[in-house]
Each structure stands twice: as structure tokens, then as C-alpha cells.
Structure 1
Amino acid sequence: MNIAISVKELYVSYFGNEALKNVSFTINEGNLVGIIGPNGAGKSTLLKALLNLISKDKGEVQILGKSIKEMRTKVAYVPQRSNIDWDFPITVIDTVILGTYPSLGIFKRPKKVDKAWAYECLEKVGIAELRNRQIGELSGGQQQRVFLARALAQKPEMYFLDEPFVGVDVTSEETIISILKELRDSGKTVVVVHHDLSKVTHYFNQLILLNKELIDYGAVEDVIKPEVLGKAYGNQFPSITATEVSV
């Protein structure tokens, strides 16, 4: 099995404050991986560092044996909903069509086949009937499905999602996780920042447990053990609930 993501001695800091320290791991292709940990653990920071969206102090990240710069078109990123300008005047279908741009080339516009593919991706996530709506008019779950459709339209090898289940309805959450599992089963690699410990055994086959440092990484059933989780959550863990765990 090929290595999808390789991280070696990764360090990240903000204004002199250490956010990640000496994080190293490898993820093989065809896995659905959850990143969990307590408040301030650096989960979103790790995701952004993997994608080179923030600066690293030190360390090496490789995607399929190459730099993220070389593999940018092979990677799709779904950010937190709070980081998106929902007032931007763009329709649902045009948002999804943006996912086809990495494969178009410079100065080329989407063709009929690209628009048809974008529509197919909207059908996949179950909201094709909303294609002409402005994205800010949608519910939280519908908005998240739009950006998953945009990621699908890109036809990447890897998917990175930052808290995709926050503020979404049950139907949208079930739709999203079903698609992510299908992607994994087809050989794609999916990495998700996640907060709800009660669902990790149902959603992922591997977990990264983080608290600025890598506490553990491996099969869900091994990482989810109380004695392992306690190393990351410390005194929080005995009273923690699924809704209290967040980025």
C-alpha cells in the first residue's frame, strides 16, 4: 500500500506560541482518518500545515511522495463554514463549477462537460434542485454539501475537511459521512478534523490523537481507549461529553 501523507518533525507556532511540536506520522492510501483532541490541541492547525496554508517553523510534509505545491491539483480542501463569506454573490452551481478549474488550465473556461459534471456532483450530495440559489440562502447542512460537491468536482486523490459536521442537520451529516466512506472504499484518502467522540468508531477507521504533540495514531479501537484518550484530554477527560470536544 502506498503512503499518501508523510509528516516528519513538524513544528508550527503563532506569534512565538507553540501550536504543534515534533509531529510525525504516515497515512497510507485508502483511509478515512479523524483528527481529534481537546480545545487548543492544534487540530485545524495541523490540517492547514499539511496543505501549506500556514507557515511551518520546521518539518517536512509530503503528499504521495511529493510536495504539496506539486500535488495541489490532487488535493481538495473543505474549510470550516465560519471561514467562508456566505454573502458572496455566487450561486450553488457556480460554486461547484469552481472545483473543475484546477484541471482546466490557465485562462480556460468550463465547458459543457464540466458544467454537467458539476451538476452530477450536486446530485451526488442530494441538492441539485438548489443549483440556482445563492449560497448564503442555504441552511448550514446544505452549505456544507455544496462545498463537498465542489471538492468532488475537482476529482482529487485526497480530501481534507475541517469540522464538516458542525452546525449541520442529521440528514446532511449522514449524506456527508456516507460519501466520505465511499471515497475511502474507492481508494481515496480522507482526513477530517472532528469533535464528536461518540461517533468516531462509526465514522473513521483510523484516528490521530493530538494535543500540540502527537499522542497516538492508529486504528480507532486502539486510540479510543480511555487510557489513551486521557493522555490528551488530561483532567478534562473524566467529565467530557461528545458536544464539549471542539477545535
Structure 2
Amino acid sequence: MKHSAISIRDLHVSYYGTEAVKNVSLSVNPGNLVGIIGPNGAGKSTFIKALLNLIPKDKGEVKVLGKTVKEVRTKIAYVPQRNDIDWDFPITVLDTVLLGTYPSLKLFRRPGKAEKEWAYECLKRVGMEEYSKRQIGELSGGQQQRVFLARALAQNAELFFLDEPFVGVDVSSEETIVKILKELCSQGKTVIVVHHDLSKANDYFNELILLNKELISFGPVSQVFQTEVMERAYKGQFAFMKEMEV
């Protein structure tokens, strides 16, 4: 039996005592590139962190590939928001990517030659091999995001979660990242991205999760990206939607 990439049932999450996400149920099939969109304060990052058990859920069930997140943790790669990362940490670009190989290593085993070569291949894939010896804080925003995508690639995951990966990123890096995410999906991997630039939604994703604390809509971009649907999430902010409708 083929399982959903991720299945969510009746998810509720509170943040500092306030309900941030409520009553979300949906199922994503493998091979999809899914955007999570919604207004500021809609609970997008909270939602993704709750899915990954990075923050506690009030209630609800999350299954990844038919199992709990804990059971398939090594098959899940997560790229956090850039402001969640300590860029002063004394670690090189290559060593950052090498961290992606740790989940597949046996207990107490350190990465060897094969893992270092694989990490370098992942750096090449994102066009950052020339920077392998740099400290991560010396890079631009776009370069940093590429390195963290390379770390995710090094993990050989089945599911990739990225939280606002294009914030503070140059156009070239954004194009590189999107191209790689689409390649991953063509290989049957599943990619879920918290995203705020609605003008790119149709180009980047084939499905959208529209949130505003609760699930407003989920499905193909053309189905979600309708004026009346978007208005329910964005309320009065959405007069310009008619021009952007797909």
C-alpha cells in the first residue's frame, strides 16, 4: 500500500497560551512541491514546526510515509528560517553540509572520506563548492541558504521542509534553489515550503496550503489561487488579487 508523504489529522497548536493553528486536516501525496501561504501571523511557521515535533501539539496526529515523525526522522530534512540560525558559530561551509550525513551514520561513527565526498557533491549541486572552507557567517544571505539546502540534500531525505527560504536571498540563489526543489519532486521526493511572495506561487508550486490559523484551502494552485478563496484568508488586504489570479 502506498502511503501519503504526510498526513495530518485534526492538528491544534498553541503558542504562549494562544491558539495559533486549529483543526487542520490534509494529506499530501509524494512528489509534490507544496507552498504554505497566508497572511502574517497566520501560523505558517508554527504549523511546520508542530509537524516536525519541534514544538508541542495540543492535539492531532501527523504521519509521515505512514509512520510517526520519530520513526522516520532520518528521512526528513528541515531548513529553518535564517534568523533561527547562529551565523557566528565557528563552522565551515563544508562541515555544515557534512552535518546532513550524520542521521545515516551508525552510533558513535564519524563522517569519513565517503561522507566528505558526498557533502562536496551536494555543495557543487548548489554552486557553492568554491566556498567550502569559509565560515558560514562570511556568506551572503543567498549563499547561506544554498549551503543549508546542500545540508538537506546531504541527508538523502524523502521529505524536505523549508521555512521562508527566499527571504533575503538574491535572484540567482532563488532560481537555483527552486530548480533543485523541482528536481527533487521529479525524483519522487516531497517538498513543503513556507512562502510569502504570492506573485511566484504559480511558477513555484503545484499545490498550496492556505492558512489563517485554520486551513482555508488546500489543493492545486489554480484551485486555491481564486479571489474568493484568498479573500477568506487575507480579508481586506486582497483587492489586488484579481490581477494575479491564475
TM-score (norm 1): 0.96
Give the secondary-structure state (helix, strand or coil) at the position aligned to 2:50: helix
Alignment length (residue pairs): 240
Contact 2:3 2:66 in 1 (8 A): no
Partner of 2:34: 33
Q: Tell me the CA shift for residue 15 of structure 1.
A: 2.6
RMSD (CA atoms): 0.9
Letter in 1 for 2:70: K
Partner of 1:245: none
- Aligned ranges 1:209-224 → 2 under 5 Å: 209-224=210-225
Give the secondary-structure state (helix, strand or coil) at the position aligned to 1:73: helix
Letter in 1 for 2:167: V
- Aligned ranges 1:6-155 → 2 under 5 Å: 6-155=7-156
What are the Cα deviations for residues 165-218 of structure 1, in whole angstroms up to 9, with x where unaligned? 000000000000000000001100000000000000000000000000000000
Q: Tell me the CA shift for residue 236 of structure 1.
A: 1.4
Give the secondary-structure state (helix, strand or coil) at the position aligned to 1:3: coil
Q: Could you list the runs of 5+ residues in structure 1 that have no partner in the other structure? A: 241-247
Classify 1:116/1:175 alpha carbon distance in 2 versus 1 (closer, same or farther; 3 Å): same
Q: Tell me the CA shift for residue 56 of structure 1.
A: 0.3
What are the Cα deviations for residues 39-61 of structure 1, in whole angstroms up to 9, with x where unaligned? 11000011001100000001000
Letter in 2 for 1:81: R
Letter in 2 for 1:186: Q
TM-score (norm 2): 0.96
Contact 2:212 2:233 in 1 (8 A): yes
Partner of 2:244: none
Q: Tell me the CA shift for residue 122 of structure 1.
A: 0.2
Q: Could you list the runs of 5+ residues in structure 2 that have no partner in the other structure? A: 242-246
Contact 2:178 2:204 in 1 (8 A): yes
Q: Tell me the CA shift for residue 2 of structure 1.
A: 3.4
Deviant stretches of 4+, over 3 Å: none
Distance 2:63 2:183 in 1: 24
Distance 2:42 2:183 in 1: 29
Q: Tell me the CA shift for residue 239 of structure 1.
A: 5.3
Distance 1:95 1:33 in 2: 26
- Aligned ranges 1:161-240 → 2 under 5 Å: 161-238=162-239
Letter in 2 for 1:135: I
Letter in 2 for 1:16: G
Contact 2:62 2:69 in 1 (8 A): yes
Give the secondary-structure state (helix, strand or coil) at the position aligned to 2:54: coil
Letter in 2 for 1:112: K
